[in-house]
Each structure stands twice: as C-alpha cells, then as structure tokens.
Amino acid sequence: MPAGEDNPGDEADRRDAIEYLLTPGDPAPRTPPTDRDRYAYVVEGQLAARIGGQTHVAGPGSVVAIPRRLDHSLRSANQAYARVLVLEVGDDEGAAADGAHRGATGGAAPGEAA
C-alpha cells in the first residue's frame, strides 16, 4: 500500500476528522478526554479552546494541539462564527507513542502564539 493511504483494518494508527461550525454565544460543551491526540485547525473565525483548565485563543490558519486524556472544550472566541477542523490521531487504546505528538502544533504549543 502506498505511503499515506489509510488501511481500514489497521486500528493502530486511526485518523478521524470532524468539521465544527461554532455559533457565537453558544456555551462550550465539555468534550470527554480520549486516548487519542486531537488537533484543532482554525479555518475561519476565532477559536477559544479550553484545555486542561487553560484557555487558548487562535485565529485562521492556526493549529491548537489537544493532548490525549485532557478535558477540553471549543467555542467561538467572539461574536462571529468559527469554523474548525478537528483531527484525531492515534488509537483508542493509547498504543501510539504516548507523548509523541503531544504539544506538536506545526508551530506553537497550546498557549503560545501561532
């Protein structure tokens, strides 16, 4: 199989993506922690990501790393919509190298300017 293609039968390195349209003023629901690292890419708007008790604000083109097993929530940071693509990486058992992706944001760790 060529590099980069998914193998649906291989659960050791699952990748899932979900697009969210965050409505201004809506409360941020808590997202239960998982054994998979998550990365939130801000497509448009301003994102306020509460991760492990700290709030991080990110704008378009930014990526926020959400390490596995941390409580977190996402909401629009202002009075406009925010469109966010969330990518989950790893397996549900935590078998992926614990911490291998932790803090990797393609430029900035959570809480740092992107």
- pLDDT in the model for residue 33: 79
What is the domain partition of the chain in residue ranges? 11-90
User: In sequence order, which residues have a C-beta less than 8 Å from that of residue 2 and are 6 or more positions away?
Assistant: none
Q: How many CA atoms lie within 13 A of 38 on its CB side?
A: 24
Q: 76, 56, 77: which is closest to 65 by C-alpha?
A: 56
* Burial of 66 from C-beta contacts in 10 A (0-12 / 13-18 / 19+): buried
* Span 14-68, pLDDT tens digits: 778 989 899 998 877 677 778 899 999 999 999 999 998 999 999 999 999 999 9
The pLDDT of residue 12 is 56
pTM greater than the 0.75 cutoff: no
Architecture of domain 11-90: Sandwich (2.60)
Residue 9 has pLDDT above 60, yes or no: no
